[in-house]
Every structure is written in structure tokens, then in C-alpha cells.
A = this chain, B = another copy of it.
């Protein structure tokens, strides 16, 4: 007998029939003698519907009240799930954030889980019940409803698994696991059996949408094994676990690509202390998330500074940076939206030299020009022209032998 936390995303509970199918799947686990805690997202489309409702009311909805509104989505899902399970003769109960209770910070829309009480859920499980917990929501120390932000149900599931000391946290989604690359553009992409938390973090932050980043951080911190798998098959998916010796033998575990960034370059920036801080201050102040930053070595007291931002913030950034550039006496500001980022990721890089060189060579062979480079301990990212994205992914997949069974 195991204690399992299962999370089903919005597409998995996108209709009455799908909620019923989820209930059937959960009941199967329950019948096999497991204790099951189910975390559900809002039904697909519901979250967008609620946001639109709020936007119709006002351009800038109050964050506290937006959380009160948004949290109804998961409430509907868990109620319907528990109804479905009960209709099939199994004892099930839904629990909302306040009922568990899931205590969070007070940052509405982006709250962080502080701690989770387990007494109530443990008692329910001991009484043989299937427990359904509304994902994405919690309660701050003033008793206000909070939400954890997009993808927050993943975090709810992992945090619950950690708090309950569950044997595994299964994330059911519409893909079959974590792949060496996006199967839509790389037909040879292979499903990984295992991946380390750190690699998963890099893959998630490089644009793959399989798991929400914070949920992986949480799992890593509390060493919760995550099983990413498909709602629509019984196949095993990918286990996200702590790094093992075996993993280090593999040079590169996977690829990621991201077309949602744009590049901003400031030419001939006077190179003096504090200049970078001066440039980025208005950008950070506006809440724009800067990804890669590259500054070349200074020549003649001037340097070029390049960075990337989400495409949706591109025009705003150009405007802000244009003003600063004038003030500090830089030559000019260039922008480019037609870029993409391709990344190779693997804990094996730590113990292997020449991985980056192999990447550059593979891209060069296809005449793909590299615009920017950024490296971390277990990742190399290159910014290239957007039109080469798919080609670059396939070339790199081949070059690192990712399609071969290990």
C-alpha cells in the first residue's frame, strides 16, 4: 500500500466526461489498496473565462478579489470529482485551500506555500476516503484566499506530497512524459525514463511547459519523486528524481527551445561602474523579466550590452531602454523579435568538457549563426535566428545522440 498524490491538469478535467474518467482512474488506484490524494486544476477554459469576467469589470482587478474569483475554478472541479466518485459508490470528499489548510504568503496571484496542515487529510485517508484537494489556492495568515499563479496546481500537488510524506507525486497531463526534445518538431524525440530535478528545472525554465518551475524546486527541496505521465494512457511516463551517478554518464539529457523572447542591444555604452544597474533599473521596476544578459569586454571605454525579454514586453522595453540610452550617452538601441533560444541540458556536463563546442560545431555545420551564448553548470543556451529553430533542434538532437536508446 502506498500513499499517492495525483494531480490532473485542466485538459484532464476539461468536461463532465473527463472528470468522470479521472474518478474512474483514481478509484482503480484506491481499489488496489493505495491511499490517494487527488489535486485538480480548473476545467480547461475556466481560468481564462474567469479572468475575462474580471477584465470586463475593470482593467486592473484588485488582486485580493481576483484570487477570490479565480479560486472558484478549482472548487468546481473538486466538487464534481467527488460527486463522480460518490456516484460510483466510493467515499470521497473535496477540500478547499482553507479546509486543508494550505497556508501561503500574502502575495495575491503569486503566493508561495508556507506550510500545509496534514491532520485533517490524514484522518480522512485513514477512514478510507478518497481525498480531492483544490489546486492553485491557499490562505494567507489574515484568512484571505490566495492563489499560486499559473501552473500552481503542480506546486499544490508536490507540496502536499512533501507534507504527507507521500511515496510519489504523479502529475497527469496531456503529454506522455518529458522528452529529449519537443516531439512536434523533432520526430526522433524520445521519452526519458528518468531526469534529475536540476535538469527538469532548466528544461522548464527554457520554455518546456511540462511542469511548473516552482513545483520542481519544491520537489527538489523535499526530495519528492515526481512521475510525469499521461492522463490518457496507462504507460509509465518520466520520473523526476534526485541526481544519480548513472545520470552523469549521459552528456546531454534533453533539449529545449523557446520562441517567446526578443533581443535588445544597446550599442556603445560608456563603460563605467553602475552603468548596468542604471540601464536595468526601469526595466526591473516595470516588472519585466530579463532572461539572458551578455556584455562584451570593453573596448576604448565603450561596450555593447545585449539582453532578452519576453516578446510581450518587447515594445515597452525598447521605449524604456531608449530613454536610458539617451541619458547615459549610448550610441543607439537595436531590437530583434525574430530570435529563438535553443538549449542543451544535462547534469553530465559537469564532468565532461567540450559539450558547448560540440553544440557550436553542430549549428555551424548547418550554417546557423549564433547571436548570443549563455552557459550554466548544466546548460548551454544559444540565441539564433527564429527561422532556424526546428532545424537547430533536430541537428542538436542528432549530434548528441538523443534519439538512441541508452
Contacts and interface: CB of A to CB of B under 8 A. Distances in A.
Given A16-B53, A143-B99, A68 B79 contact: yes
A45 interface: no
Contact of A68 (B62, B78, B120, B145): B78
A61 B76 contact: no
A260 interface: no
A62 B50 CA distance: 26
Interface stretch (A90-98, A175-183, A364-372): A90-98
A140 to B, nearest CB: 12
A69 B53 CA distance: 19
Interface stretch (A80-88, A161-169, A185-193, A274-282): A80-88
B72 A76 contact: yes
Interface residues of A, number: 38
A19 interface: yes
B83 A79 contact: no
Given A61-B83, A68-B96, A69-B76, 12 more contacts: A54-B79, A54-B80, A58-B87, A60-B87, A62-B86, A64-B93, A65-B79, A66-B83, A68-B82, A69-B83, A72-B72, A96-B145
Interface of A: 16, 19-20, 50, 53-54, 56-58, 60-62, 64-66, 68-69, 71-72, 75-76, 78-80, 82-84, 86-87, 93-94, 96, 98-99, 120, 143-145
